Amino acid sequence: MATRTALITGASSGLGLSAATELARDANWHVVITGKDQHRAGAVAGPIGAEALALDLGSLDDVRSFAARFAAGGRPPLRALVCNAGIQHISGLALSKDGYEATFAVNHLGHFLLANLLLDQLVAGSRVVVVASDTHDPAKSTGMPAPRYTSAAELARGDDGWALGDPPAIAGRRRYTTSKLCNVLFTYEAARRWESRHITCNAFNPGLMPGTGLARDYPAYQRLAWRYLMPALTVMRPGINTPRTSGRALARLVSDPGLEGVTGRYWSGREEIRSSEESYDLSKADDLWQTSVALTALERSAALDPGAG
């Protein structure tokens, strides 16, 4: 009988589904996966013994509604939250339902609100894992443009002033890498603020992982290569991972007893490494946190203040 609950966002395919499948093999875990499409999420949740719930991270109202419904669900105590869902737009500026730049809204802001709304449900000893990416680090050879963190308010607008003349495809990729930097900044700030609650927060880099839905906004020929050609290279080129391999490494951060109390770290697969130099910038982390509080209209509480709890 399950004694603990794990919630994984964006887990109707790819990395999230692989991690959910791994956790669901342990009868102690009640696994809940989310997706924008309830039917699709339910179709993959059933065979692995998980529960599926609809969640649109691009709508702050939907995040609030989801958190309220989740609180009333009567499940075992929430012991893990995996912020996995992510998008990438390269065809031009896209806005969320709240009018914020969509990549920032889904990859960071929706998860920021969700984690804070669920904070009181996360019992002592719980783990939060944020799926980031090495693309946030310009020192790594990822083939992606370097992030450009100006201010969180400007990232939320995503306007032409931020793009500085980048062609749409480059601007879209840069918004993605910047959102991944935000994921790491959020991880470290949450680890500091939630330490007194005995809730850990770590960032996870799954590596280059072809075949996932991140390329859905790419041209047709690039989508085909991403889905069919690149996965074939996983057996020939180090650093290219399958969702199954990365999913197991992600599930380990949730379930490994040896990682109890480990917080504020950056994991590449199963290896703890340093993230980018910029990701340790306390002023940017504070700017991101305070601006996110304002953008989400999150009430100030003990959950938001360092050392409180």
Q: What's the Rg (C-alpha) of the chain? A: 18
Contacts of 165 (CB under 8 A, 6+ apart): none
Helix (H, G, I), strand (E, B) or coil at 269: coil
- Global confidence as pTM: 0.89
pLDDT digits (tens, 9 = 90+) for 242-275: 788 999 999 999 999 999 999 999 999 999 999 9
**What does the pLDDT read at residue 236?**
44
CATH placement of domain 4-304:
3.40.50.720
**What does the pLDDT read at residue 194?**
97
Contacts of 269 (CB under 8 A, 6+ apart): 205, 206, 207, 241, 245, 246, 249
CA proximity to 135, closest of 146, 126, 124, 125? 146
Q: What is the mean pLDDT of each run of 10 residues along the chain (309 residues)?
A: 97 95 98 96 97 98 97 95 95 94 98 98 97 96 93 90 81 95 98 97 86 52 43 48 88 98 97 98 98 91 50
**What does the pLDDT read at residue 208?**
75
**What does the pLDDT read at residue 212?**
53
CA proximity to 134, closest of 177, 175, 167, 92? 177
Question: Sign of dihedral through CA atoms 183, 131, 103, 231?
Answer: positive
**What does the pLDDT read at residue 51?**
98
**What does the pLDDT read at residue 270?**
95
CB 47 within 8 A of CB 28: no
